[in-house]
A = this chain, B = another copy of it.
Amino acid sequence: MATIRDVAKRAGVSISTVSAAFNEGRVSDETKLRIAEAARAVGYAPNALAQSLKNGRSRLIALVPGDITNPFFSNWLIVVEKHALAANRAVIVSNSRGVALERTALELLAAQRVSGILINPQGISDDYRNYLASITIPMVTFDQYIEGLSLDYVGTDNVLASRILTEYLLRLGHRRIAFIGGNPGLWTTERRLEGFVSAMQRADAPIEPDFVLFANYDGGEAYTETVRLLTGVERPTAILASNNVMALGALQAISDLGFRCPQDISLTSIDDVPWMGLVKPRLTLAVQPLQELAAIAIDWLLERIESRDQASIPPRRMILPPKIVLGESCADLRA
């Protein structure tokens, strides 16, 4: 690979002049031209490694999603990448699937001196929180909020999302509603549960302990839990699944057991579902405003990265309301 020295030699100038020519240094137009020509001739492209080492920071932005196979996260990548590319930065993805890997991923990214991190933090231990706090790289968290950390956060109003869905079911006459949550202790899980509980309580609808389940945001586990729910003595009339893959798992269980949705059981969920139009029945959903969230997150991150003193920017929070999409998955029991 050609280096700056090769270019300098060929153009008959010093390496500092070449460097100045590539950045906005003071170089005469004539010399600039000669250097550009020489660079092309030897096939020179600056070594990003050396640049980053010198600058103390690379041009890489890291995205640490929980599960890249979930379209929610892969679409985050699309948005983030578009913005990053516009700022002449590349995106490095470290899929963390599981908390153990999350720590490893962060250490690797820190070693790479990435310029910023966009993370969906799934860890909940104090240890992990302390580790996050110790990272000095600009960071924006999304989806999962970690309390007590002074980090930027963007996310959806999860309480609102599940409250709206629950109230919708209640309005349709449902009283026996089951809730399938994600991982206990996670911010989104707890908030979505909170919205469900508050709506139920306000309507004086009883919350059956057996009807509150946790399936770790996993489709397979949601399937199992739903099977149990539907084969129990007393069945719910509706299920609120707190994310897309769990909703699909639940729907699969409903279908496999020979139940019909919504005639036998209603289903509603948070998050968009891939190819929703093809899933029968079309689900009623509280969809996260993914495009907006991701755009804000990456913009905030870039702002931190480019600011002289990022510590001077106070931690910000942006919480957007979900968009409600009506489908045909909820039966009207008032008839």
A205 within 8 Å of B (CB atoms): no
A58 within 8 Å of B (CB atoms): yes
16 extra interface residue pairs, beta carbon distance < 8 Å, beyond A47-B113, A53-B53, A60-B112: A45-B107, A45-B111, A48-B108, A48-B112, A49-B52, A49-B112, A68-B78, A74-B74, A81-B94, A81-B95, A90-B105, A90-B112, A91-B93, A248-B278, A252-B277, A274-B275
Contact A255 B274, beta carbon cutoff 8 Å:
no
Contact B48 A92, beta carbon cutoff 8 Å:
no
Number of copies of this protein chain within its complex: 2
Question: Known: A53-B47, A69-B71, A95-B81. Is A252-B274 also a contact (CB below 8 A)?
Answer: no
Give the interface residue-count category, chain A: 35 or more
Taking Cβ atoms with an 8 Å cutoff, the residues of A that contact B are 1, 45-50, 52-53, 58, 60, 68-69, 71, 74-75, 77-78, 81, 85, 90-95, 97, 101, 104-105, 107-113, 136, 219, 248, 251-252, 255, 274-275, 277-280
A78: chain B residues within 8 A (beta carbon): 68-69, 95, 97
Contact A69 B74, beta carbon cutoff 8 Å:
yes
A93: chain B residues within 8 A (beta carbon): 77, 91-93
In the complex, A92→B248 CA distance in Å?
Answer: 30
Looking at the assembled complex, report how far the CB atom of A335 sits from the nearest CB atom of chain B, in whole angstroms: 26
Contact B90 A109, beta carbon cutoff 8 Å:
yes
In the complex, A180→B19 CA distance in Å?
Answer: 52
A91: chain B residues within 8 A (beta carbon): 92-94
Contact B278 A251, beta carbon cutoff 8 Å:
yes
